Structure 1
Amino acid sequence: MNIAGLEACSLLDYPGLLSSVFFCQGCNYDCFYCHNRALIEPKSCITDYQEAQTFLQQRKGFIQAVVISGGEPSLQHDLMEFVEFIRNLGFAVKLDTNGSRPQVVSKLLEHDLLSYVAVDVKAPCERYQEIVGDKGDEILVRTSVSLLTEYQASHPGFSYEVRTTLAPTLGQEDLLCMVQSYPVVQHWYVQKYRIPKHFKANDEKRINLPQLSVGEVEKSLGLLRMYQPNLVIR
């Protein structure tokens, strides 16, 4: 595992549980509004695997869950081994993913290793690469969400969510297109946009463009919930 950062104690990252959060180095996306830009390049880790294991063993009886975030965790070649170690310690495991590697999600679900998954849906199909870079493929993301939907139907103790950030350039028609393209999901959160502290120079104009306000989205909630009844703004 290429671990670039660690939050020892969080009340925000796993719904309802006290968790520790591991941030993996490396991402196959290059979202112009990314808030973890330092994690995009596949640099060397700052925490080795043994240190991570020792840390988690020391957290038994204190935390309840572990969140694996990024970057993009599904790029890690030993992700499954790491998740198995965490589960064997008795922790719930939440995976934060961009959904671009459904084969990894499928393998983890097949072995019943995940308790919660959060998938970012960035844009409608035809605008995906515009938002996330040339490696974006919305069909792969849709496949990941479908896998989670099917798994949750037969595993009531498992939960998942879809997240969409109200990034600049996304409009009401984009949101409507997105919610129509997916099966009804357990939770769909529409999130407020925050200007990132670090960004590429050629993205400066784009990150400062106007974005949809919460009030504007609220006006269309009735229509959006016709397709995604579990959609809320947070």
Structure 2
Amino acid sequence: MNIGGMVKSTFLDYPGKIACVLFTQGCSYDCFYCHNRELVASKGTLLGQEKVGTFLDSRKDLLQGVVISGGEPTLQPDLPDYCSWIKEKGFLVKLDTNGNSPEVLEKLLFLQLVDYIALDVKAPWERYGEICGKGARPQTVIESLSLLKGSNICWETRTTVAPTLGKTDLRKIACQMPKVPLWRLNRYRLPACYKKDEEKKIHTPAPDCFEVQGWIDELKIFQGAIVTFSK
């Protein structure tokens, strides 16, 4: 596994659990607002499995789970083995994914190697290429949603309310997704690192907290799920 970074403790990334976060390198998407752009390219210093293992062994009485995020973790060929290794150490595993590899997701679910999944639904299907880059294929996200609907694990979907996404877009997402257990809307924050040619888009005002809060009740009706907004 190409682990490019770690957050040693978080109360936010795994609902109801104290966890650490491991960030994998490499991503099939190129979202203009990405907050982990340094992880998109597979380069830089890596955390070896031995170092991660030593850390986890030292936190067995403090942490309940491990979040594998990115980048995009499902690009890592040894992800199933890594999840198994973490679970053997006694930790729950949460996976953050863009849904672009449903075949990997299916394997993880079949082998019962993950306990919670957060699936990003970044835009209405017709805007995926515009928002997420040429490597984004909405059909794979649709397939991933179908797999999660048929599973018995805890899961949620997430959407960052980024610049150029408005109420109409969120309404479309609400209607295009099947009913989900939880749809988490995340506030846009200006990334520290971004492409120069995306500067204008990056600085375009995103819907503010007051606006998004005003949309929640309507989105709940269209989606039929619990909808929350993280400020």
Which segment is superposed worse, 11-20 or 27-36? 11-20
CA deviations over 1:52-105 (Å, ceiling 9, x no partner)? 223222322221100101100000010000000111111110001111111111
CA deviations over 1:25-73 (Å, ceiling 9, x no partner)? 1111111001111000011552112222232223222211001011000
1:88 maps onto 2:84 in alignment: no
Deviation at residue 217 of structure 1 after TM alignment: 2.5
1:224 maps onto 2:216 in alignment: no
2:104 — aligned with what? 104
1:142 maps onto 2:137 in alignment: no
1:61 — aligned with what? 61
Q: TM-score, normalised by structure 1?
A: 0.94
Deviation at residue 150 of structure 1 after TM alignment: 1.4
Find the aligned partners of 1:227 and 1:79 in 2 and give their Cα distance: 35
Give the fraction of aligned pairs with identical amino acids, expressed as a percent.
45
2:197 — aligned with what? 202
2:7 — aligned with what? 7
1:50 maps onto 2:72 in alignment: no
Find the aligned partners of 1:159 and 1:45 in 2 and give their Cα distance: 33
8 Å CA contact retained: 1:35, 1:197: yes
RMSD: 1.3
Find the aligned partners of 1:89 and 1:220 in 2 and give their Cα distance: 43
8 Å CA contact retained: 1:119, 1:162: yes
1:233 — aligned with what? 229
1:75 — aligned with what? 75
Deviation at residue 8 of structure 1 after TM alignment: 1.5
Find the aligned partners of 1:226 and 1:30 in 2 and give their Cα distance: 31
Matches within 5 A, 1:15-34: 15-34=15-34
2:126 — aligned with what? 126
Moved over 6 A (4+): none
